[in-house]
Chains A and B, each alone.
Chain A
Amino acid sequence: ETAVFQTPNYHVTQVGNEVSFNCKQTLGHDTMYWYKQDSKKLLKIMFSYNNKQLIVNETVPRRFSPQSSDKAHLNLRIKSVEPEDSAVYLCASSYGAGYAEQFFGPGTRLTVL
C-alpha cells in the first residue's frame, strides 16, 4: 500500500515532557512537510524538507525540531511540551515544488495536560 503513515495516532503527556512523532511515505516523493492543525481546525505549515534538506522553517518555537534520515522519513521532536502544543500534527509529502499536490497522513493528536 502506498500512502503516508504516521505514528502514534494519539499521545497524551504532561507539560515539560519530550515527545517524538514519526512519518513515513511510500509514494516515492522527494518532499515532506509538517503541518499543525489547532482546535479551531486552522492548518499551518511548520517545516518542509526536500531530499533530506530543510527548505521551509516557519516561525516555530525552538523546542520543535524536525529530522529527516532519508527522503521517505520525517520525524518531529518537541522538547519540553507546553499546553499550546496540543493539536493534531499532520505529515504530508509531494513530488516536486510549488504546485505539486500534497498527500497527507491521518495525523498525530497530541494532548498536553
Chain B
Amino acid sequence: GDSVTQTEGQVALSEEDFLTIHCNYSASGYPALFWYVQYPGEGPQFLFRASRDKEKGSSRGFEATYNKEATSFHLQKASVQESDSAVYYCALSDRGYGGSGNKLIFGTGTLLSVKP
C-alpha cells in the first residue's frame, strides 16, 4: 500500500538556522503531497500542498517541491524561529477515485525544537 517515510524523528536547531526535513513517498498512482504542523494540545494544521511534478508548495516561509523522479517532498525553511517548534508531518492522498482517496496517509512525524 501507499506509504510516507520521514527520516528524522527529531531535529534540534537554533534560531536563524536552515531547516530540512526529509520526506519520501511510495504510491502506485500520482498522489497529492502535503505538509501539516501540529502544536502541543492541538490538531494538525494544513501547511501547504503540491499535486503535480515540480510544483512548489509554500506557506509561512516553509516550502517543498514535488519531485516525482526522486519520490520526495522535502520541507525547508531558510531561517527558523523558536515559534516554529512543533511536530511536522508529511502526508499523501491519492486522487480519490471511488472514494478511496478520502484519507491522508501520514509519515511518522518530525519533532522540531528551536532554541532561542
Contact = CB atoms under 8 A, between A and B. Distances in A.
Interface in A50-95: 50, 55-56, 58, 90, 92, 94
A99 B41 contact: no
Interface residues of A, number: 29
Given A97-B96, A98-B93, A98-B94, A43 B102 contact: no
Given A42-B109, A45-B104, A101-B49, A4 B43 contact: yes
Contacts of A4: 43
A98 B44 contact: no
Contact of B99 (A97, A99, A106): A97
Interface size for chain B: under 10, 10 to 19, 20 to 34, or 35 or more residues?
20 to 34
A43 B89 contact: yes
Interface of A: 4, 31, 33, 35, 40-45, 48, 50, 55-56, 58, 90, 92, 94, 96-99, 101-107
Interface of B: 32, 34, 38, 41-46, 49, 51, 87, 89, 93-97, 99-106, 108-109, 111
